[in-house]
Structure 1
Amino acid sequence: MDHTVPPGSRPLRKLGFLTIGLFDEADPRRGHESTLEIIELGERLGFDSAWLRHRHLQYGISSPVAVLAAASQRTSRIELGTAVIPLGWENPLRLAEDLATVDILSGGRLNPGVSVGPPMHYDTVRSALYPDTADTEDFSFERVRRLLGFVRGEAATEFSGTEGFEVFSNRVQPHSPGLGSRMWYGGGSLRSARWAGENGMNFLTSSVVKAEPGETTPNEGAPGNEEAGAGSADFAAIQLSHIRQFRAHHPDGERARVSQGLVVIPTDSASAEQRARYEAYAAARLPRTAAPQGPGRLLFAPDLVGTAEEIAERLHAQVAFREVDEVAFALPFTFEHEDYVQILTDIATRLGPRLGWPGA
């Protein structure tokens, strides 16, 4: 079936998906195995990439790099990403070693996504995570810069050479030459978008953005003022400003890679019971999309539930989606394995072609 991409939209070049990998505390292996099976399914369906979320001290994948190492041995083509590793929990030198190792094992398919900032609930975890350095840890972009440097082959020590029977390198080993170009920053603000561009990273933008000072959403405009909408910024407009900020400061300009990660739930082959659950899930989450949330002024995108044709129409109407040619559609957190099989199958066979994706 031929599907024409509307004028002004880029045909979708890379189709990916993102999962959190939830598990039951009483049987964690089952949840991890389900995640690996979903990644294997993604490869069979032709997806270009599979991405894992990162959850610490929760019932989701706490070590996506380890899980992706396993996935690398059960797949041969699909790219494997993290979206995202919060670097506040990591030592950049040690993480660089792990990333390079998995990239080598995967044959150069790893796409590490990272972010910075203090660990979530830092006041309660700091004594366990950094008992001696909690007050001096640097959670700024410098932590990302250190990781990038180690991944790209910068020296980690002044010492190298032979000592006795052992040979030492002054940079991280193994070194995977292509990995440095496949590092992603997960950002939701103009500042993070600019930093990622200036440092030659790729940019992950998700279903959450930060409403910057001076930006208002339609619901914050003056009621009854017909001009209010003209100066207001909805989710897609804010996301578009981040994408353009990133590319304006990236050496590759308009060719710089951006991946969008909205929640999409096609219902074409879903049962009536599944459709009802999906719609209830999206409806329960809809109120948070009406206005910026919390002191960080976080703005959430609505989940897209409907037929592939309906979702494609809504995506093509978004100014931010029209600027990208890569996506990593997020799977809902709490659904069952069979639900993910149906959703991924419909994304690959029905939605992807309507977005111009050639993979199917």
Structure 2
Amino acid sequence: MMPGKRIGFLTFGHWQAAPGSLTPTARDALLQTVELAVAAEALGLDGAYVRVHHFARQFSAPFPLLAAMAARTQRIELGTGVIDMRYEHPLYMAEEAASTDLLSGGRLQLGLSRGSPEPAYRGAEAFGYTPGEHETDGDLARRKTQQFRAAIAGAPVVPAAAGGRPSSGMLAIQPQSPSLAQRLWWGSGTRQTAAWAGEQGLNLMSSTLLSEDTGRPFDELQAEQIQVFRDAWRAAGWPGEPRVSVSRSVLPVVTDLDRQLFGGSPAHDQVGVLEGVRARFGRSYVGAPDVIAEALRHDAAVQAADTLLLTVPNQLGVTYNTRLLGTIAQHIAPALGWHPAGQPPGTDAGNAVR
């Protein structure tokens, strides 16, 4: 296990006017995510991350939300997991990202990717983006990622104008946030794309879904992916140590309501076919906090990663999710080598928001 384990939450930002939902509208989901980021910071958690999906009742435009979260917090990392780069204009996104990072004081952690399965058929084309000849969706996402990276690194983009004509000078996008380029992650679902991320000098983000299956348990396959990434990073000659995050569904059962809501959640890996390929889904960790803590201590990928993102059932509201995160912070996370950010080891995170 790497020292200095970081723990944050990841929300999909679901909203729906369904029975039991405390996020009937998009406004509710957005405002509650800001409040949950404030609560998570008070608990000593290290990160508040949002998923990005298009054409669904989930978050789709992350930068206004991240800026609002930045305005209400002081320390916690703010990130995405992940932005589907097929949909993005690299230069406009570079301006938005730099502005948001400056507002946050350099706390932005941007997860980028080719994107996950979506409800829209060829949705990126509706945004005006189509892969080139002989180019796959993955190729398009990686090409646009390279353009985005160049832009936030200050690469010149267009000639300056003088009297309506191009001059000899070149202009970069503005504003610039100088260290943002070091806080980019690639959301990888396979060992092949993990190797690409390492070669490119990006950090690695791996979720509860891998779009490949070798028959090995999910955590072992994901740990292998992480090792492939780190080997590729070192082979490419990048300095320092890259960051690696994994996501887990962690649902401690301490009340009758918890048992009613999550007693039937799958406690084992699931295998299925997704977009024509065999995929493996990670298990949910459901049960008594001490049982979950022991199970996570034996999760090979959780131990290999420096950051653990906890997916939250956001439609249950801020109060429920604050209690859920507080239970994890107090009774589960310390077994993984975590202690509240900005506080000495031994601090009772469960008392932070009381």
TM-score (norm 1): 0.82
SS of 1:73's equivalent in the other structure is helix
The residue identity in structure 2 corresponding to 1:264 is V
Q: CA deviation at 1:265?
A: 1.2
8 Å CA contact 1:211, 1:292 repeated in 2:
no
Q: CA deviation at 1:162?
A: 6.5
1:246 to 226, 229, 239: 229
Going from structure 1 to structure 2, the CA distance change for 1:277 and 1:253 (only over 3 Å counts) comes to farther
Q: 2:247 and 2:115 mapped to 1: Cα distance?
A: 20
8 Å CA contact 1:22, 1:334 repeated in 2:
yes
**Pair 1:257-2:258 in alignment:** no
2:218 to 235, 258, 283: 235
- The match for 1:23 is 15
SS of 1:136's equivalent in the other structure is coil
SS of 1:320's equivalent in the other structure is helix
Written as runs of structure 1 = structure 2, the 5 A alignment for 1:313-324 is 313-324=294-305
- The match for 2:2 is 10
SS of 1:335's equivalent in the other structure is helix
- The match for 1:299 is 280
Written as runs of structure 1 = structure 2, the 5 A alignment for 1:29-68 is 29-68=27-66
Range 345-354 or range 198-207, more displaced = 345-354
- The match for 2:259 is 275
Q: 1:211 and 1:193 mapped to 2: Cα distance?
A: 12
- The match for 2:344 is none
Name stretches of at least 5 consecutive residues in structure 1 with no aligned partner.
Answer: 1-8, 218-232
- The match for 1:146 is 147
Q: CA deviation at 1:85?
A: 0.5
Q: 1:127 and 1:358 mapped to 2: Cα distance?
A: 45
- The match for 1:134 is 130
Q: 2:157 and 2:302 mapped to 1: Cα distance?
A: 40
Q: 1:254 and 1:311 mapped to 2: Cα distance?
A: 32
Q: CA deviation at 1:321?
A: 1.9
Q: 2:115 and 2:13 mapped to 1: Cα distance?
A: 23
Residues 29-78 of structure 1: per-residue CA shift (max 9 Å, x gap): 22211111111101111111110011212111111111001111011111
Q: CA deviation at 1:307?
A: 2.5
Larger relative strand fraction: 2
- The match for 1:102 is 100
8 Å CA contact 2:314, 2:321 repeated in 1:
no
Q: 1:308 and 1:184 mapped to 2: Cα distance?
A: 30
Going from structure 1 to structure 2, the CA distance change for 1:109 and 1:56 (only over 3 Å counts) comes to same
SS of 1:17's equivalent in the other structure is strand
Written as runs of structure 1 = structure 2, the 5 A alignment for 1:338-353 is 338-353=319-334
Q: 1:100 and 1:342 mapped to 2: Cα distance?
A: 33
1:87 to 81, 85, 88: 85
**Pair 1:194-2:188 in alignment:** no
Q: 2:116 and 2:209 mapped to 1: Cα distance?
A: 18
Q: CA deviation at 1:12?
A: 4.8
Range 334-343 or range 67-76, more displaced = 334-343
8 Å CA contact 1:264, 1:303 repeated in 2:
yes
Q: Quote the sequence identity (%).
A: 31
8 Å CA contact 1:161, 1:169 repeated in 2:
no
